[in-house]
Structure 1
Amino acid sequence: MSTFSTSSTQDVPSPALDTRLRVDRAAFTLDLALTAAPGEVIALLGPNGAGKSTALRALAGLLPLTGGHLRLDGRVLEEPARRLHTPAEERPVGVVFQDYLLFPHLSALDNIAFGPRCQGRPKREARAEAAAWLDRMGLAEHASVRPGRLSGGQAQRVALARALAVRPRLLLLDEPLAALDARTRLDVRARLRRHLAEFEAVAVLVTHDPLDAMVLADRLVVIEDGREVQSGTAAEVARRPRTDYIARLVGLNLYQGRAEGTRVTLPEGTVVVTTEELSGPAFVAFPPSAVTLHRDRPQSSARNLWQLRVTGLDLHGDQVRAELAGSLPMAADLTPAAVAELGLAPGATVWASVKATQAHAYPA
């Protein structure tokens, strides 16, 4: 039999991960399709209760599917219609849990060796492999240390090594940096990025932190209410958010209306002027930094001008974020000096202007 193909799809590799996760629960349904190429890192993002953890548990085999399928490297691991379910312990899957779940009575070395030992490898071989992983993680001198004496960053690296030591074809990471302090998080994020770049199989990361997702993942999949609402590279998702959650995640003011030329009319009648010409349903977005505030109506060339009310002021990095309500609720970023000069306080009335060149419109 010839091993060559003349089809037009001969250069398109089969996905390493091909799944549709359907999980029906009492008051919630997850229905999510995912595909990933070998070496690809996917980040699942979404608000609390969106279904991220349910998806991860279903991939791991800890939560059975009620519909759909799960194929990994062409092998069917689960398909309810055929009553096929591969138990979690028999799946080539490694998991790094949010709180790491290291065995407290075992040393770092033996925590990592545990997986290979369960796969039937001799003790000496398993411990030698664990030692190699510790060295790779920069923890060779902590081989005999138990988890209770490890720092958060060290424990995270041991947990990652334990997951990788079983040579998984699918690596699942559940909020892997959530338990770390801000300073440790920077270092561990950089280390994790290097390890994921070297990982040849598929990795799926669940996180609430957009920075973690953007630094670590090749592609973002945003889910809300158990379903995908948007996917793409970090740049694609950030440039054209399609829900309020995503807009807040990437720091944009987002509205949906109907476009006629350069004007987007929102449902309540407010108009936002842009420089893009569109026709039909459209989104329009602009960053809080694009909003200029005035106490009196300005003599401005800005084509977008609204009278709004300050409802809150919060420190946002080295800026102050003003939350504004009225005909077009929005967030605006100002310097502390500008806040003082304008005399802003909750309840104050202001005029907000945005240049048309800074308001970006795109099809809904």
Structure 2
Amino acid sequence: MTDTHGTAHALRAISNEEGLDARLLVDRGTFRLDVSLRVAPGEVVALLGPNGAGKTTALRALAGLAPLDGGRLLLDGTALEDTPPESRPVGVVFQDYLLFPHLTALDNVAFGPRCQGASKAEARTRAAEWLDRLGLAEHAGSRPRRLSGGQAQRVALARALATRPRLLLLDEPLAALDARTRLEVRSQLRRHLAEFEAVAVLVTHDPLDAMVLADRLVVVEDGRVVQEGTPSDIARHPRTDYIARLVGLNLYRGEADGHTVRLGAGPGVTITETLTGPVFVAFPPSAVTLHRDRPHGSSARNLWHGEVAGLETHGDQIRADIGGELPLAADLTTVAAAELGLHPGAEVWATVKAAQTHAYPV
């Protein structure tokens, strides 16, 4: 991808607004993508969603690798819809990095500036600067097969940044790393993205990557934006089942009347807020206490009868999937699960204190 300097005359400036202003319309037969994005310079936005939601299609449309069927794509006030990919001021870090295997790390990074017309010496100087900034100076002469996963990821990032892009696209940038390396590289990537002065768009299905790396999340399901906001906002106010599962919450939609939320034909949930009308009500699996017999004298205002539909290890705890009048997930320790004698089909009573629920308008 190239820098703006050599191609400005070929691009069509239509406003003075900086940053990204896009509406991406892509038709693929039975699938239609319709996603709007506004991202300011210096901001990192994560496109988050399940597999098949349209995240990668959106990224490819931004990069010019998938043609738009409608909408707009403005970067710093310049229309890019008809600009070929190689002439866009865009840098891409692909999921598998796509480093040239026959080139050293230095020459991989120098490739972009060379394509922009820089001399070999100038391109290598710029590449060396970026490798140094990303802590890879001592690996400049190494070919990709000699690099660890984390090192290869940083070389790919350096290659994208060396073109001085106005839009940086990252496609599942940590997916190819093992868990330990991922933790370290995630932290490093966050630091580098914080220093990036243009627009950065990250595509991921990993909620932790999104929460740590992005200033703002745009959640996409079935080709549409279903929610956007800061990570803490979305974690506290999920609006779909997918997002609730992502952030580890039980989520229900119902009708509030004072301190009670009626869930359709199902049971009610007692809340501490005073609300009226359509609301979401949520609570974490850790707020659920399970009993084999109906508890008496419990201070919990919410009590539901159900049965264990499944059990699975979830971190250092057991997550119980409870079916019945109010399907829910409950977290408990291995010891507690053993003491209760939980097994699929076991009858249980679930309690949740009203103070541990959180309700908010639809």
Where on the TM-score scale, by shorter chain, does this alignment land: which range? over 0.9
Q: Secondary structure at the match of 1:324?
A: strand
Tell me which residue corresponds to 1:41. 44
Matched-pair contact (CA < 8 Å) for 1:260–1:279: yes
Write the deviation string for residues 236-260 of structure 1: whole angstroms up to 9, x where unpaired: 0000000000000000000011111
Matching of residue 70 in structure 1 with residue 73 in structure 2? yes
Tell me which residue corresponds to 1:56. 59
Tell me which residue corresponds to 2:3. none
Matching of residue 330 in structure 1 with residue 328 in structure 2? yes
Matched-pair contact (CA < 8 Å) for 2:320–2:330: yes
Matching of residue 212 in structure 1 with residue 212 in structure 2? no
Q: TM-score, normalised by structure 1?
A: 0.94
Shift of 1:269: 2.6
Matched-pair contact (CA < 8 Å) for 1:283–1:361: yes
Structure 2, unaligned runs of 5 or more:
1-15
Amino acid paired to 1:260: D
Shift of 1:62: 0.3
Shift of 1:204: 0.3
Tell me which residue corresponds to 1:119. 116
Distance in 2 separating the partners of 1:253 and 1:44? 23
Matched-pair contact (CA < 8 Å) for 1:15–1:35: no
Distance in 1 separating the partners of 2:57 and 2:213? 21
Aligned Cα RMSD in Å?
0.9
Matched-pair contact (CA < 8 Å) for 1:61–1:88: yes
Shift of 1:268: 2.4
Structure 1, unaligned runs of 5 or more:
1-12, 79-84
Distance in 2 separating the partners of 1:140 and 1:250? 38
Q: TM-score, normalised by structure 2?
A: 0.94
Tell me which residue corresponds to 1:26. 29
Tell me which residue corresponds to 1:301. 299
Matched-pair contact (CA < 8 Å) for 2:266–2:326: no
Q: Secondary structure at the match of 2:80?
A: strand
Distance in 2 separating the partners of 1:277 and 1:29? 40
* Residue of structure 1 aligned with 2:316, choices 315, 318, 340: 318
Matched-pair contact (CA < 8 Å) for 1:14–1:37: no
Shift of 1:279: 1.1
Matched-pair contact (CA < 8 Å) for 1:21–1:32: yes
Distance in 2 separating the partners of 1:194 and 1:273? 43
Equivalent pairs counted in the alignment come to 346
* Residue of structure 1 aligned with 2:147, choices 145, 150, 165: 150
Tell me which residue corresponds to 1:341. 339
Structure 1 vs Structure 2: percent identity of aligned residues? 75
Distance in 2 separating the partners of 1:183 and 1:122? 39
Shift of 1:264: 0.8
Stretches of 4+ moved more than 4 A in 1?
none
Write the deviation string for residues 186-217 of structure 1: whole angstroms up to 9, x where unpaired: 11011101100000000000111111111110
Matched-pair contact (CA < 8 Å) for 2:113–2:162: yes
